[in-house]
């Protein structure tokens, strides 16, 4: 991150082009899809803050390929991302603090312009942070459960609990 002396805030978008290319090309396309044989819908990205931003950008850049989902805690789309004509069909869950969140209402609007399926969960806390109780974790677990059920069967190596 770079400190902006004019606004007194940290620039959260610094270096995302290189990071996004590394995650999208090397990790997702070459590693998970190429070498491991996963289909895009079998890949779910979970990230906090800038990690969530990278996951959202990678999903938005995939084009017609739909990931299993992206869960971003306190992360928004990078400002540098240019929106495509067609919205991504990758489902997105955004968890944010109800006060002092990095995911502003304008950031939510941009997310809805980039993704067809966006779910927003506001946590009753000041400032974004990792889930710290059952109420904060429940929407994430429900999202994972819905997305894992929507793929063809249970992924190899997983155990289904009922």
Predicted confidence (pLDDT) per residue in 71-82, tens digit: 999 999 988 777
Residue 12 has pLDDT above 80, yes or no: no
Does residue 35 fall inside a structural domain? no
Write the secondary structure of the chain as one string of H (helix), E (strand) and C (coil): CEEECCCCEEECCCCHHHHHHHHHHHHHHHHHHHHCCCCHHHCEEEEECHHHHHHHHHHHHCCCCCCCEEEEECCCCCCCCCCCCCCECCCEEEEEEEECCCCCHHHHHHHHHHECCEEEEEEEEECCCCCCCHHHHHHHHHHHHHHHHHCCCCCCCCCCCC
- Domain extent, residue 64, equals 44-146
- pLDDT digits over 41-79, tens only? 999 999 999 899 999 999 998 878 899 999 999 999 988
- 22 lies in a domain? no
What's the average model confidence in pLDDT over 125-143?
94
Say whether pLDDT at 8 is over 50.
no
In-domain check, residue 34: no
Whether residue 131 is contained in a domain is answered as: yes
Q: What is the CATH number of the domain that holds 137?
A: 3.40.50.1820
In the chain, the number of structural domains is 1
Does residue 68 lie within any of the structural domains?
yes
């Amino acid at each position: 991150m770079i400190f902006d002396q004019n606004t007194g805030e940290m620039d959260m978008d610094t270096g995302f082009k290189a990071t996004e290319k590394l995650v999208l090309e090397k990790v997702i396309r070459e590693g998970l899809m190429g070498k491991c044989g996963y289909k895009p819908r079998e890949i779910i990205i979970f990230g906090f803050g800038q990690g969530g931003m990278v996951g959202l950008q990678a999903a938005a850049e995939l084009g017609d390929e739909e990931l299993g989902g992206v869960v971003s805690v306190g992360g928004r789309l990078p400002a540098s991302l240019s929106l495509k004509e067609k919205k991504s069909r990758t489902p997105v869950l955004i968890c944010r603090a109800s006060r002092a969140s990095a995911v502003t209402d304008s950031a939510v609007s941009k997310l809805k312009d980039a993704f067809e399926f966006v779910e927003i969960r506001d946590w009753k806390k000041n400032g974004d942070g990792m889930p710290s109780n059952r109420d904060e974790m429940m929407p994430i677990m429900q999202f994972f459960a819905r997305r894992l059920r929507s793929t063809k069967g249970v992924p190899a190596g997983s155990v289904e609990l009922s």
